[in-house]
Amino acid sequence: MEQFDISDTIQAKSDQLNADDLISAPRTITITAVTKGTPDNPVKIRYEGDSGRPFNPCKTVRRILSLGWGVMANEWAGKSVTLYNDPSVIYAGKAIGGIRIKAMSDIPKRIVVSLSTTRGKKSEHKIDVLEVTEKAMYDPAKFDKVLPAMAKQIEAGKMTHEQIINKCEVTGTLTEEQKQQVRNIGKDAGIDAEINEDEDFFGGNE
């Protein structure tokens, strides 16, 4: 039998939101626009603070979004959704992980639906009602203090730039400038400090 190596199909794309970005924590996004994409990724979702990296939902996620919000995607703007990494998502027979929905705003009640995963098999999806609250900004003084700790995590290969950003924003919203500072780690040689490995640099506001 001919060998079929799928390595090139499971590499994370840097120009879009990836499941790997959500390993550190789920992420809630607020949609700003939905546009047509490519045949492979027909729906392109732009959201607040996407930094040019849109969310391209797979068919399963598109079905859930349309079930909760309807099929007129231009009407999704202003609504919010919490995304997470589901490590059980299978592609080409391998569990590689994928983006799934944890909660949605603007739905009257919890959604429970069974959708096809592989031929002849279905998986149940439970989507909670998302109560949207305004999140505080990440404390600037705290950010400056713990930036070296973030750099150590990235340079040691323990976390990616986007995983750091995502984890920080669980507790406080980063500015675009702060996000860029994180993404510049590795490009700047000036960040060097002795950091307590146990320091909680993800806590936004103490």
- Give tens-digit pLDDT for 37-67: 999 899 999 999 888 899 999 999 999 999 9
In the block, residue with structure tokens 């640099």: 201
pLDDT at 63: 95
In a domain, 1, yes or no: no
Please, which contacts does 45-52 make with residues 24 or more away whose CB atoms are closer than 8 Å? 45/76, 49/173, 49/174, 49/176, 49/179, 50/17, 51/176, 51/179, 52/15
Cα separation of 189 and 192, whole Å?
A: 8
- The string of DSSP letters for 35-87 reads EE--SSS-EEEEETT-TT--B---HHHHHHHHHHH-S-GGGGTT-EEEEEEET
Say yes or no to pLDDT of 6 above 70.
Answer: no
Contact 201, 149 (CB under 8 A): yes
- Average pLDDT value for the chain: 85
Q: Are residues 88 and 170 in the same domain?
A: no
Q: What is the pLDDT confidence band of residue 9, given thresholds at 50, 70 and 90?
A: low
| Domain final residue, candidates 129, 150, 175 | 129
Contact 83, 22 (CB under 8 A): yes
Q: Are residues 45 and 75 in the same domain?
A: yes
Task: Of 56-60, 115-119, 136-140, give the lowest mean pLDDT range.
Answer: 115-119
Say yes or no to pLDDT of 189 above 60.
Answer: no
Q: Are residues 118 and 169 in the same domain?
A: no
